[in-house]
Structure 1
Amino acid sequence: MNANIPLEEVFPFSPRVARKVLICDSIETDGRFVCYTYAKQAVNATCPVLWLLGTPVTEMQVATGLKKMGCDAGASYLRDESLTSAGGGNKTLTIRSLASELATATLDLKDDEEEEWSEEAFLKQLYQQAKEWLLEKLELASTTDSPCWIILDDMSTLATMLSESLVYQFIDTLIALVSRLGKMDQVGILIRVSNQLDQTLLNQSEEDFIKDQSGWVGAGGLALRLARRQDQQDWIPWERSLLESMDGVVDVLPLASGYSREAHGRLIFSELPSGRGWSESSTNTTVATTSSATTAWNKLVFNYCIHDNGVKAIRLRVQ
């Protein structure tokens, strides 16, 4: 393996090129460091960033993490605590903790009020606010060299607090808004979701295959195997549907050899055949397969190691 290099130097996608990117992680390998690294890169490129946090993390914690990485874009959140409730910030970076807003909204409800808490109304209001922010930034933008970026950080966690269907509709509506405005080259969307259910089902299927005794007479035959397969089909994660609208996917996976001090996990960058590719030069005119090594969208694989002041990537040698 080669020497460690900063993670932002191996990103195949650039803040200067608006794309829709999906980050898939799990409990074992948290992928929030990809959002932090990319937000720092986008802010340094003077791209407006709206960061919506679905995890129970405050704006000050995010700003502190960015400061440790050498990015002072969130310094205003560290100086003035009133910005956290007002959703303020500087002209480049706007951070909003949706979990904190949910807690505040529910605690403010009075017992004598007839109106009940509505998750749908909360997401509708959030959509309108995101739309207003987007239209304002697009109006101020003089060129397309600095597109706007919306970071949806861990929507799987937000779905556990609200609803899977509502969160999916919220994401789909945001994507449709960008398409309806005709600003696909000026607005990028970075979404982080959990791939934990898929990994659990994969591990379960491997265990079932090892323990499978359907070939033996009297061991249940194929009926038991078909029943297990049907149970897995009933638990299809909603995050899979997002792939249809994405240009690329970043998988944050654990190492097969396990956790080590030199490498904490693996990153796989994959272009989707139905997407626009990572960069302007990417083309999808040819039919591609994941087994082909000559396509323009073949996978890029790196190991990563998280340090106190940033993330290092380790390029793998390919024979």
Structure 2
Amino acid sequence: MPYGYYQFLRLIVTGYAGYVSYVYFTRGPRQWGWVFGTVALLYNPVFLVTMSKEFHTVVNLAVAGLMIFEFYKLRDIEQPPASVSEVKEEPKTAPPLRNATHSEKTSGGLFRVVFPPLLALAIGVGIIAAMTYVNSRPSDEASEVTNAESSPAEFPAEASAPLPLDELPTAATSSDDAGLNEAIPTVGAFTDKVDAAARQFTEVLKAEGMIGAETYSKNCQNAAQQSSDILQTDYCTAFDMAALLIDQGVTSESGLPQNEYFKSRASALDGDYARFTQASQNRTELIWQEVKSALAPAMYEPGI
């Protein structure tokens, strides 16, 4: 049940308690006025202190039931009681008329008491349900967009094997400032490059271990510095991030210290994009998310 429902019901109960307290103070008996006045004053602080929905459900129902009972009983004292002299002077036909009036008030009194709170609760629940539905829609749409952007199925990698380091494509333009400002051609090219780097790391790790991965990473960094293609820097960054991800998983399970080279690379990844003036500030975060997605199946393979 939405939390706003309990807040709305709390206001209903507090208002009823205050009104009944006022009626008893003005018409008596006053001790009941003190009782319901105390409920009206203390119910809100107790609500804020306990913050328990179960507690408020029980108390709301109990107090609301008591409010209805008291309203039903108070209808009998809406008119001041007749004096003794008036009772003595009544004709003999007065009791049936009084009984008829009393029965008329009895038949409509409970409805007059029950209808306002039920109507208020129905309207409040409808408003809260509408607000809950409206507030839930942006989060659903955002999750759908996030899943669509992060799903590997949206941008499938090419079937070819990852390219060796010396065969990575470089930009056709010269390494001047205009070349350094080159944007990503497509999201698919970016994703393919990152996935290829993650797969390349797993192959190097299986064949040569972390020592071979260090050597490959250093050669990759040297080649990236000579190129103006930002995708080649993405490739090297993804390779290092894959090494960090695997190394963290291994060291957390075995208790061994982390690889110092890749540990130092973790703090230098953002600096690799300093020369690309149009590089996105969250570019490394995007690469990190894609690397984790690409390595998820390989994390459960033996030898990784």
User: TM-score, normalised on structure 2?
Assistant: 0.30
More relative contact order, 1 or 2 (CA 8 Å, 6+ apart):
1
Larger helix share, 1 or 2: 2
Larger strand share, 1 or 2: 1
User: TM-score, normalised on structure 1?
Assistant: 0.29
Please identify the structure whose Cα radius of gyration is greater: 2
